[in-house]
Amino acid sequence: MNKQLIAYILISIVFLVVFGGVASVLPSRRTRQLGHLRVTARKFGLTTSLVHIADVNASLTDRVTASGKKLDPKRSCVAWSKPYPDDFPEVPEWITYALDQRESSGVNWQLHETTEDCKGLAETYWLEVDRIKTLFPKRCVAIECTRSEVRWLGYERVVSTNDEFIQAMLQGLDSLIRLNTSISEERNTFNKLLETDSEYD
């Protein structure tokens, strides 16, 4: 009887070790949900990637060493991107970071302009950008506009359905694309008018 009991115990231990080893290499439920979400995004022309960006909310100790040397703290997040439908050379290029919300009920933003042209943009442009920010999914870390694409940077919420998250992402990115391409077209038209006027000077 004792031998049978010992045999059952040994079999149970072996089973637990084998099952535990297999379970440890299997993706978690959250990982599977994120993978499915990102695969679905491709059907809508969206791409995702892991990126490292400046951590504007880093503490002073993370910014300066004990010896006084300045550091450039980074944070990792996920970038959701959508390219412009065509070549628009005059689109604004900038990145804005979401600041720490502990001292405010809303999200404050810190703008980092990447081109001189951004400084000449009208206040109505930035007001529209502020409105577009509210369209994006929550847990946003930064929003970036480059020459070739617009990007939302942050952390996905897998508690939401794929459709809700992706539709909110599309609404925000598409709105930014329309806004920036309209600016590019206005600038292009203005430049052509200047060239035409110069021909008659």
The two structure tokens encoding residue 15: 């089973």
Provide the pLDDT for residue 170. 95
pTM of the model: 0.75
Q: Could you tell me the residue ranges of all domains in the chain?
A: 44-199
Which residues in the chain show pLDDT less than 70? 1-27, 101-107, 158-161, 190-191, 194-201
Considering the chain, what is the average pLDDT of its residues?
A: 81
The answer to whether the CB of 92 falls within 8 A of the CB of 183 is yes
* Residues 139-166 pLDDT 10s: 899 999 999 999 999 998 766 567 889 9
Provide the pLDDT for residue 24. 46
Rg (CA), the chain: 25
